[in-house]
Amino acid sequence: MTISSTKPYLVRSIYDWCIDSGFTPYISVQAFPELNVPKEYIKENEIVFNISINAVNELIIDNNIVGFAARFNGVERKLKIPMNTINSIFAKEVNQGITFSDEKRENQKAMNVLKNNNSNQDPEILQERKVRKPKLRVIK
């Protein structure tokens, strides 16, 4: 039995939260050459889309894609964004949402841990723990 990804469910829930709260939902997408997006808006291999009701038409968020029609420089384009290319979804006004980890890197880390199951902990994980410092907050 395969477990389906939680990403599409989280994207839909943050989108709904943004709309219900009166915020503007944005998605950050990892751009790659095969992705059919306006190239002039790509910065550092990433493109950000406003997916609010006022900005797009025909919005579909299913388990595999986020699809919508939007205007770029007055020209309407229909886009289909694969779910695995979405880096984050957030509300513009409060900059809150969810950032997704790099799945390939996480999968590689998990494979390394499984390969090195003779040792108690992965050296990379140990190194990460040494670098982190505790954070204290004063709560009144």
Q: What's the rounded mean pLDDT across residues 95-102?
A: 90
How far apart CA 124 and CA 66 sit, in angstroms, is 34
* Inter-residue contact 90 to 29 (CB < 8 Å): no
In the predicted model, is pLDDT for residue 114 greater than 80? no
Per-residue burial over 99-124, b = 16 or more CB atoms within 10 Å of its CB, e = otherwise: ebeeeeeeeebeeeeeeeeeeeebee
Residue 55, classed as helix, strand or coil, is coil
In the predicted model, is pLDDT for residue 107 greater than 50? no
In the DSSP assignment, the letter for residue 87 is E
CATH code: domain 7-100 is 2.30.30.220
Residue 69, C-beta contacts closer than 8 angstroms, at least 6 positions apart: 56, 57, 58, 76, 77, 78, 79
* pLDDT digit string, tens, across residues 52-86: 999 999 999 999 999 999 998 888 999 999 999 99
Sign of the Cα pseudo-torsion (36, 39, 43, 49, in order): negative
Cβ atoms within 10 Å, residue 126 = 11
Place 121 in a pLDDT band, splitting at 50, 70 and 90. very low
CA proximity to 89, closest of 101, 79, 81, 99:
99
* pLDDT digit string, tens, across residues 4-63: 889 999 999 999 999 999 999 999 999 888 888 888 899 999 999 999 999 999 999 999
